[in-house]
Amino acid sequence: MSTPEDLHRQLGLTDEEYERIEGILEREPNRAELAMFSVMWSEHCSYKSSRIHLKTLPSEGPDILVGPGEGAGIVKVGDLAVALRLESHNHPSFVEPFQGAATGIGGVVRDVLSVGARPIALFDPLRFGPLPVEGRVPQTVGERNRFLVEGVVSGISSYGNCIGVPTVGGEVKFEDCYSGNPLVNVMCIGVAPVERIHHARADGPGNKVLLLGSKTGRDGIGGVSVLASASFGDDDADKRPSVQVGDPFTEKLLIEACLELMEAGLVVGIQDLGGAGLSCATSESAANAGNGMKVNLEAVPRREQGMEPFEVLISESQERMLVIVEEKDAERALSICDKWGLAASVIGEVAAGGRLEVTDNGSIIADVPAASLGDGPIYDRPIQAPHWIEDLARQEVGASPPDDLGKTLLELLAAPNIASKSWVWEQFDHQVMLGTVVTPGHDAAVIRLPSSSERIAVSTDGNGRYCYLDPFLGAQHAVAEAYRNVSAVGARPIAITNCLNFGNPERPEVMWQFAESVRGMGEACMALGTPVTGGNVSFYNETSGSAIYPTPVVGMVGVMPRDVIPPPIGFQNEGDVIALVGMTSDDLGGGEYARTILGKIGGRVPRLDLGTEATNGTVVRRLIELGLVSSTHDCSEGGIGVTVAESCIAGGIGASLELDDELAPHVWLFSESPSRYVISYPESRSDEVIELVAGSNGHIARIGAVGGNELIWGPEIRLDLETLTATYKRSFAEAMGYAR
């Protein structure tokens, strides 16, 4: 049994934090209040360790309508507002991969809905420990990893497909460090007329507060169960589910009902219920409008009997939204919910004066200043560069060439990190809404917007291995690669959102990785003109004291006019010239060749010149706009070798590459120098292309020609298309245990 004195510590609050709460309330908090503060002031809700760093990210620009702070960031595209949000659901997905990933989709969709946007696309950047085929981890660990991939993909498929929002892109990457801690990040894009953006604001004292969606159960309150065990005995603790079950059907109804409420002009303010449940939604929306709120807990529909008031207050039950409406509209709002078969009830009203007053059948449960819950502590945690950074950088990777370059290329194409992920995205409805102009499997997804002359292109990218070796540079690479992917389909990048996955921030090395990553990301975004519209921080990604690679993931949005046609990544015509935009140097460090072929994690992360990145991206976009190219493909993991092979496979046609006399063959083939694109165009267009690139200070070199049904490079590589295709397309399914 815990004593009241150390209750706050068991809830994760420090003594100083507790004193601060007493100061705010001018008395001791009661149990419900303590529960609310402990959840709201947790790292997850308060961003207390990350805030001072996140502040430094550039967040303004001509295309930005709403920056960090709302449910989702918003950029302006033509007459439309495009909302974007990237979130993590790492831990829940480790515990129960199917439900964890499913509810992750549910959460990020509600974030986008909460700013008034209709969700139109989903992305799923994923990181797992290695599959058994790689032989990098013990068999049982590999099998567990495979089980996680299987479950996470099914969960996303089940939830995303049911709600009718297409999943059009993502990543699946494998590194040893994610075995005990997979990363399940999910991104949602939404769209709304500019004039219909909504905010999480409870304006207008007297307005009614509606709770709609699923009933409230004891979900997600495991962390504060000490409160109950302190008062009711321990056996109660197993009544609290550690896993939440998603209900995509209710989510779909929630989307339609909320959009109908907004279209009918009934919504004064709206907020999703996520972390900290009602506590957060009520206090935040009230505080955002400088108001308070009166909440009657007895009006909250419950899934279970005998719930304690504090449980109702902090429950994280899924598929719920809070909507503020004028009193006169409450009836109509309720009837719209009823039409969609959704439970809804008035649970309180907006009050002047700034206090959040919670009652349950007349008795006072909590009475706190609404703003104080969101106004948590902020820490400047100590940072220290880890001692191993320099050793890793000094590692020698790839001085001597492999015996058989052709075999090496095939091994890379078969590697789970590189092989086609069609096994994954074929389980996702990526076509519903008829907006997917460029489907998964290309550099970026291209989505057309309803009645608009613009389209958007979106890519998610992140390279944990680079960030492990150099978090500053690694984070810049994440931004640069996204920039390249978006440019490769012809779109002008305009903004990013991010999800920053790190270890325990109380450890100075982790905090250093975080600070460096944020600094790198900020500089890259500044240089490439893509401000940060918001993001999400996931700390404490570690098992038994060993942290994941620092893994910032970037979701980038670009725009392109409807009449610009995104080129395919596949080569198209016999005889076309293959050229490389950008320069290749010895950049095997930290790359896929070093990891997969040599089994080494080390070396120097490729240097990155952001000016060159911008120039080359601009050049490629210009080439696309003018219709000069037959294909474009960004060149990243696995270098020119993998990129050209992918273009052959996608186009169903071979290529012969010319020898390069400056770099060693394996370096030229597999180096991951950034800022490069492999393009192809008709010989007749050669002069125009070269002139345009040279005139923009870009670098372009002819590297071969399209044709035949083999990939040929000097005397050393001769691979027929069928072998390439089978290797690339089947390996992932096989690694997952599905021999097809």
Ligand X SMILES: Nc1ncnc2c1ncn2[C@@H]1O[C@H](COP(=O)(O)OP(=O)(O)O)[C@@H](O)[C@H]1O
Contact between 250 and another protein by CB under 8 A: the answer reads yes
Active-site residue, 477 included = no
> How is the chain split among helix, strand and coil, in percent rounded to 5?
40, 25, 35
Give the other-Cβ count within 10 Å of 180's Cβ.
18
Active-site residue, 89 included = yes
Pick the piece of the chain touching another protein (CB under 8 A) from 12-20, 242-250, 643-651, 698-706: 242-250
Single-letter code of the amino acid located at 129: G
- Judged on CB neighbours under 10 Å (0-12, 13-18, 19+), 25 is middle
Tokens 């290797």, located at residue: 727
Q: Measured in Å, how far apart are the chain's first and last C-alpha atoms?
A: 57
Shortest CB 114 distance to another protein, Å: 21
Per-residue 3-state assignment (H helix, E strand, C coil) for 551-606? EEEEEEEEEEECCCCCCCCCCCCCCCEEEEECCCCCCCCCCHHHHHHCCCCCCCCC
Q: Please give the residue ranges that form the binding site for ligand X (CB under 6 A).
A: 124, 126, 167, 169-172, 421, 424-425, 440-443, 461, 485, 634, 636-637
Nearer to another protein, 63 or 311 (CB): 311
Contact between 247 and another protein by CB under 8 A: the answer reads yes
Q: Which residue is nearest to ligand X (CB)?
A: 170
Shortest CB 373 distance to ligand X, Å: 36
3-state secondary structure of 216: strand
Contact between 321 and another protein by CB under 8 A: the answer reads no
Yes or no: say if 325 and 210 are a contact pair by the CB < 8 Å rule.
Answer: yes
Nearer to another protein, 317 or 408 (CB): 317
Nearer to another protein, 246 or 309 (CB): 246
**435, interface contact from another protein, ligand X, Mg ion, none, CB < 5-8 Å by kind:** another protein
CA-to-CA separations, 591 to 515, 586, 654, 677, in angstroms, rounded = 23, 11, 26, 17
The tokens of 288 are what?
């955002």
Contact between 732 and another protein by CB under 8 A: the answer reads no
Shortest CB 223 distance to another protein, Å: 16
Query: What is the distance between the alpha carbons of residues 447 and 293, in angstroms, rounded to a whole number?
Result: 40
Query: What is the distance between the alpha carbons of residues 33 and 370, in angstroms, rounded to a whole number?
Result: 12
Contact between 634 and Mg ion by CB under 5 A: the answer reads yes
Contact between 690 and another protein by CB under 8 A: the answer reads no
Shortest CB 637 distance to ligand X, Å: 5
Q: How many residues of this chain interact with Mg ion, rule: CB under 5 A?
A: 3
Q: Of residues 217-236, which lie at the interface with another protein (CB under 8 A)?
A: 217-219
Looking at 89, 252, 465, 484, which residue binds another protein (CB under 8 A)?
252
Pick the piece of the chain touching Mg ion (CB under 5 A) from 38-46, 116-124, 208-216, 438-446: 438-446
Q: Which stretches does DSSP call E strand in 674-720?
A: 676-681, 700-706, 710-713, 717-720
Which residue among 44, 199, 442, 477 is the active-site one? 44
Query: What is the distance between the alpha carbons of residues 209 and 300, in angstroms, rounded to a whole number?
Result: 11
**308, interface contact from another protein, ligand X, Mg ion, none, CB < 5-8 Å by kind:** none
Contact between 448 and another protein by CB under 8 A: the answer reads yes
Pick the piece of the chain touching another protein (CB under 8 A) from 42-50, 151-159, 622-630, 646-654: 151-159
Q: What is the DSSP letter of 456?
A: E
List helix spans (H) across 206-342: 225-232, 248-263, 277-288, 309-314, 330-339
Contact between 103 and another protein by CB under 8 A: the answer reads no
Which residue among 8, 53, 89, 442 is the active-site one? 89
Looking at 59, 157, 288, 485, which residue binds Mg ion (CB under 5 A)?
485
Nearer to another protein, 301 or 369 (CB): 301
Nearer to another protein, 102 or 479 (CB): 102
Shortest CB 159 distance to another protein, Å: 10
**Closest by CA position to 258, among listed 355, 325, 188, 357:** 325
Nearer to another protein, 25 or 243 (CB): 243
**675, interface contact from Mg ion, ligand X, another protein, none, CB < 5-8 Å by kind:** none
**424, interface contact from ligand X, Mg ion, another protein, none, CB < 5-8 Å by kind:** ligand X
Residue 304 φ/ψ region, left for φ over 0, alpha for ψ in the -120 to 50 degree band, beta for the rest: beta
Query: What are phi and psi for residue 592, nearest 5 degrees?
Result: -70, -35
**Closest by CA position to 518, among listed 49, 43, 6:** 49
Nearer to ligand X, 169 or 570 (CB): 169
Q: How many residues of this chain interact with another protein, rule: CB under 8 A?
A: 48
Yes or no: say if 587 and 672 are a contact pair by the CB < 8 Å rule.
Answer: yes
Pick the piece of the chain touching Mg ion (CB under 5 A) from 25-33, 216-224, 227-235, 483-491: 483-491
Nearer to ligand X, 319 or 587 (CB): 587
Shortest CB 123 distance to ligand X, Å: 7
**85, interface contact from Mg ion, another protein, ligand X, none, CB < 5-8 Å by kind:** none
CA-to-CA separations, 210 to 257, 296, 392, 697, 736, in angstroms, rounded = 13, 11, 55, 58, 45
The tokens of 676 are what?
């490069």
**158, interface contact from Mg ion, ligand X, another protein, none, CB < 5-8 Å by kind:** another protein
Query: What is the distance between the alpha carbons of residues 351 and 373, in angstroms, rounded to a whole number?
Result: 17
Nearer to another protein, 110 or 199 (CB): 110
- Site map 401..430 versus another protein, x via CB under 8 A: ------------------------xxxxxx
Q: Of residues 26-65, which lie at the interface with another protein (CB under 8 A)?
A: none
The tokens of 678 are what?
């492999």
Shortest CB 2 distance to another protein, Å: 23
CA-to-CA separations, 615 to 487, 612, 626, 699, in angstroms, rounded = 11, 5, 17, 9
Nearer to Mg ion, 576 or 634 (CB): 634
List helix spans (H) across 26-124: 31-40, 43-46, 51-54, 90-95, 97-113
- Judged on CB neighbours under 10 Å (0-12, 13-18, 19+), 222 is middle
Yes or no: say if 47 and 518 are a contact pair by the CB < 8 Å rule.
Answer: no
Nearer to another protein, 107 or 217 (CB): 217
Contact between 91 and another protein by CB under 8 A: the answer reads no
- Site map 288..317 versus another protein, x via CB under 8 A: ---------------xx------------x
**584, interface contact from Mg ion, another protein, ligand X, none, CB < 5-8 Å by kind:** none
Which residues, in sequence order, are CB contacts of 476 under 8 Å at separation 6+?
Answer: 520, 521, 523, 524, 608, 610
Which residues contact another protein by CB under 8 A? 95-96, 99, 154, 157-158, 161-164, 214-215, 217-219, 239-250, 252-253, 303-304, 317, 340-341, 425-437, 448
Q: Residues interacting with Mg ion, by CB under 5 A? A: 443, 485, 634
- Active-site residues, by number, are 44, 89
